[in-house]
Amino acid sequence: MEPVQVKIYGQVYSIKGTDDPEHIRELAAFIDAKMTEIEKGTGTFEPHRVAILASLTIADELFRLREQYHKLGVSAEGAVKRLLSITDTVDSAGE
């Protein structure tokens, strides 16, 4: 594992991981952009405060996406059951 150099909120970090280095760079760029967005939106310049607010924002996005994913799964499952029911009805009528 070769370390990947990334810059987040003005600091350079050496990250080792099993993921593709480009993926690690994308993650770091996402975090950097989110922290910059938080800084501009709040006027807060203290790195630890910006990091905490960015973390909370990202966690909120993750939780919302998880909920949407769950709802889509439930909806898809219901649709499959309805289709199977229709198929069973058509099969029974054709016999």
Count CA atoms within 13 Å of residue 28 on its CB side.
Answer: 21
What are 27's two structure tokens?
């993650």
Q: How far apart are CA 12 and CA 20, in angstroms?
A: 18
* 24-35 mean pLDDT: 97
- Residue pLDDT, tens place only, 77-95: 888 888 888 877 766 766 6
* 16-32 mean pLDDT: 95
pLDDT reported for residue 11:
96
What letter does residue 9 receive in the DSSP assignment?
Answer: T
Task: Tell me the domain boundaries of the chain.
Answer: 4-94
What are 45's two structure tokens?
């310049």
DSSP strands (E only) in the chain: 4-8, 11-15
Q: How far apart are CA 36 and CA 9, in angstroms?
A: 7
CA geometry: angle 43, 64, 37, nearest 5 deg: 20
pLDDT reported for residue 84:
83
